[in-house]
């Protein structure tokens, strides 16, 4: 029952990849997005410039509507806003989202920091959504904190962070 979850320690040069797992994320408010952003100042500000792209597939419970679509409205082009990872989550007991986010070489002081995400969720109108997001933080400063939040209201669920050596 949090409005946001922040990882403000442990993201350093120890690992090449940091993977976050979202498990049964369920919002208090119906029809909201789970979003994320990075920080270069240990979580004082979450406003790193990024470029992203997002596409999704969906399928309704009645088997009458299926699609694969590039979602230009959820892209960020050299902006500092929060990036959507899970779209339009429902707040019912049977509606939640799960998935992963990987950030590559976040401690680099030379290169941009690439990331990819894959999530699956139950959309608030009884659709299953599979979303793919990729992009990069356009900074040479290390990303040393990450925040996850719903675009509105609180949420329940689990978010875990793992370090992976390449």
CA-closest candidate to residue 45, choices 80, 9, 2 = 80
pLDDT in tens, 145-166: 999 999 999 999 999 999 999 8
Q: Cα–Cα distance between 106 and 128 in angstroms, integer?
A: 31
**C-alpha closest to that of 120 among 109, 129, 111:** 129
- The stretch 56-82 carries a mean pLDDT of 95
Question: Contact at 8 Å (CB) between 147 and 43?
Answer: yes
Residue with tokens 């270069």: 40
**Cα–Cα distance, 133 to 143 (Å, whole number):** 18
Has this prediction a pTM greater than 0.85? yes
């Amino acid at each position: 029952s949090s409005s946001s979850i922040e990882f403000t320690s442990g993201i350093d040069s120890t690992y090449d990849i940091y993977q976050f797992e979202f498990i049964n994320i369920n919002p208090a408010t119906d029809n909201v997005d789970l979003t994320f952003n990075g920080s270069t100042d240990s979580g004082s500000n979450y406003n790193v410039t990024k470029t992203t792209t997002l596409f999704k597939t969906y399928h309704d419970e009645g088997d009458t509507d299926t699609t694969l679509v590039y979602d230009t409205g959820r892209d960020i082009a050299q902006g500092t806003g929060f990036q959507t990872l899970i779209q339009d989550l429902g707040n019912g007991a049977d509606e939640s989202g799960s998935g992963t986010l990987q950030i590559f070489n976040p401690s680099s002081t030379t290169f941009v920091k690439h990331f990819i995400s894959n999530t699956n969720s139950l959309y608030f109108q009884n659709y299953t959504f599979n979303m793919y997001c990729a992009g990069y933080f356009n900074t040479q400063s290390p990303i040393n904190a990450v925040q996850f939040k719903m675009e509105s209201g609180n949420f329940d669920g689990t978010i875990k962070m793992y370090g992976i050596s390449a």
